[in-house]
Amino acid sequence: MKLRAVLVATLFSLLVSMPTGAQRSVVPPPDMTVITVPFTLGCFTTVRRMMEYLWTDYGELTALYMELRPGEFDGYLFTNEDNTTLSFVVVKFAQPPATNTDQVCIMWAGQSPNGNVLTPMVKPDPTMFPPRKSEGDAI
């Protein structure tokens, strides 16, 4: 549960803080607390270098790809073979003329001794939730 909370908070903070592109407008409901958390990231300039590092040092390979904002941000989840370690990596593509360098950063890394760092789940039955406000929008 802690891993999911960290991932959701990180993705939410990324999406809320990015002002352009294919991002949809996300307005937090009144009962959601939005916090700013300063943290340090470890980054490379290529996905390949990140893949090499996570493989050689932790035995992790890509398990999931996320197209967060086409041409601007992508995300990856890396896990090791026995599913005991996980790294969440976000790629911020260069946006010339401001920068010509991609940023490939580990947003979060952790472990689960019992092998549950990434567990597929069945989507819940939508009828158990209140009706959606509008079709096509999801957070």
Which amino acid, residue 136? G
Query: What average pLDDT does this structure show over 77-88?
Result: 96
Rounded CA separation 3/11 (Å): 12
Residue 52: is its pLDDT beyond 70? yes
pLDDT at 137: 52
The predicted structure's pLDDT at residue 13:
45
Q: Among candidates 100, 53, 54, which has minimal Cα distance to 80? A: 54
Q: What is the largest CA-CA distance in the chain?
A: 48
pLDDT in tens, 90-101: 999 988 888 889
Computed over every residue of the chain, the mean pLDDT equals 81
Question: Which pLDDT score, from 0 to 100, does residue 8 have?
Answer: 38
Q: How far is CA 88 from CA 20, 105, 130, in A?
A: 23, 8, 31
**Residues in Cβ contact with 49 at an 8 Å cutoff, skipping those fewer than 6 apart:** 104
Q: What is the pTM of this model?
A: 0.70
Residue-wise pLDDT for 8-44, tens only, equals 344 444 433 444 444 556 788 899 888 888 888 999 9
